[in-house]
Amino acid sequence: MFDSAEFAALREEYLQGARERAGRLREAVAALREGGPVDLRQLRQEVHKLRGSGGFYGFRALSAAAAAAEDALLMVLDGEQERDDHALADLVARVVAEIEAATL
């Protein structure tokens, strides 16, 4: 299955969707760095989707970057860690970088 033309087409479609999602993530990174409002719950949902699906489609580095960002966001949302917008921006920027670096 994973070597089939159908799976290759699914990977391509996934990567196209991830690149579209990267635009929203870039906006969140900019807002975090500029002190603008960011819905951390929504941001966590965005990176959560990439965390699970990235690995399935063979984009392990993307999945790992999304996992790091999601874990940090969860710690902030759960009150286990103080919010540091610059650190969160760096983690989400890494997710964007992995999306941009991903190739078929």
The residue among 73, 75, 2 whose CA lies nearest residue 42 is: 73
26: CATH: 1.20.120.160
Burial of 86 per CB tally in 10 Å (0-12, 13-18, 19+): exposed
User: Distance between CA 91 and CA 85 in Å, rounded?
Assistant: 10
Per-residue pLDDT of the chain (104 residues; tens, 9 = 90+): 567 889 989 999 999 999 999 999 999 999 999 999 999 999 999 999 999 999 999 999 999 999 999 999 999 999 999 999 999 999 999 999 999 999 86
What is the domain range of residue 70? 4-102
Predicted TM-score of the model (pTM)? 0.92
Query: For position 1, what pLDDT does the model report?
Result: 59
Structural domains of the chain, count: 1
User: Distance between CA 39 and CA 103 in Å, rounded?
Assistant: 30
The residue among 55, 56, 75 whose CA lies nearest residue 64 is: 55
